[in-house]
Amino acid sequence: MKKLAISLLTAALLPSFAFAQTNLPRSGVRDERQGERQVERQGERQGERDTRQEGRQDERQGKRDTRQEGRQDERQGTRDERQTGRQGERQGEREARQADRANRISDVRAAAAERIAAAKTKLQERLAGIRDEQKKRRVERIEERLTAINTQIVNRFNVALQKMSTVLDKISQGLDGKEAEGKASPEDIAAVRSLIANADSLITTAGQAVAAQAGKVYTVSDVIGAESTLQNDLKPIRDILHNDMQSVKASMEQARQAVHTAGKALSDLSISTAPSDL
């Protein structure tokens, strides 16, 4: 009876044990699959978050870059506008000075022409007492020659002044470019600009001297005396012309040297701001 009970109990437990054995692997597979799906979902969500974050960062960076480029373009436009305005202003001033100098030279020459005509009449009166015709013609040619020399030299000086003004304007443009690009300190910019202003002032002074020289008349009628002393009498008037020209030449040289100094200062500024190879 006892053996029969044990057999029945064993028979009842065997199916349950077998069922438990068959279900253990299936539960582990489910857990493993659930873990894999969870990891995949987490990876997908993280990927989506990373993508959104990168998109927002790219968008913000794009907006910053756009704003920065806009500000840079605006500043560059403002610098270009100021530089163009200064260049146009200097161009206008230079042309105005050249026109003013040309008008003054024209006016003083017109006034000088009247004095020259009167001087010729006076010279003919002074030469009436000289019997030697060759000496008369020589004196007349000397006076004409003095007038021609003065006109030629004044014209050369005027052309030289225009060239100096053009060179100085290019120096100013070069300095404006360096200032706009930030390639020099404000102190260095101010120093070179002061040299440019000094050169401009000296050009104006030289222009005034040239205009005054254009109006001068060199007549020999006031210096000639007796026929026997004509050669000696003419020397002082030649010396007067020579001294006047030397005075104007000195003023021109000061202006030329000032322009050269300003140009060299700009060149030195370029060298000092060049990137080092070290």
Per-residue pLDDT of the chain (278 residues; tens, 9 = 90+): 555 555 555 555 555 544 445 444 566 677 777 777 777 788 788 888 888 888 888 888 877 877 777 776 676 666 666 666 766 776 777 677 777 777 777 777 777 677 777 777 776 766 666 777 777 788 778 888 988 999 999 999 999 999 999 999 999 999 998 888 888 899 999 999 999 999 999 999 999 999 999 989 888 766 665 555 666 777 888 899 999 999 999 999 999 999 999 999 999 986 665 554 43
Q: Where are the beta strands (DSSP E) in 138-209?
A: none
> Residue 274's CB: how many other CB atoms inside 10 A?
9
- Tokens representing 97 are 């000075």
Q: Are residues 99 and 167 in contact, defined by beta-carbon separation less than 8 angstroms? A: no
Other Cβ atoms within 10 Å of 259 Cβ, number: 24
Model pLDDT, residue 19: 45
State the pLDDT at residue 156: 95
The residue written with tokens 């009876």 in the block is 1
In the chain the first and final C-alpha atoms are separated, in Å, by 109
What is the per-residue pLDDT for 254?
98
Q: What are phi and psi of 154, to 5 degrees?
A: -60, -40
Residues 6+ apart with CB under 8 A from 86: 172, 176
Please name the fold of domain 92-272. Four Helix Bundle (Hemerythrin (Met), subunit A) (1.20.120)
Angle, alpha carbons 118-124-126 (nearest 5°): 105
How many whole angstroms separate alpha carbon 139 and alpha carbon 158?
29
For the whole model, what pTM was predicted? Answer: 0.62
Gyration radius (Cα) of the chain, Å: 49
Please check whether residue 214 is in contact with residue 154, taking contact to mean a CB–CB distance below 8 angstroms: yes
Give me the helix-helix angle, 133-181 and 186-214, nearest 10°: 160
CA–CA separation, 40 vs 45, rounded Å?
A: 9
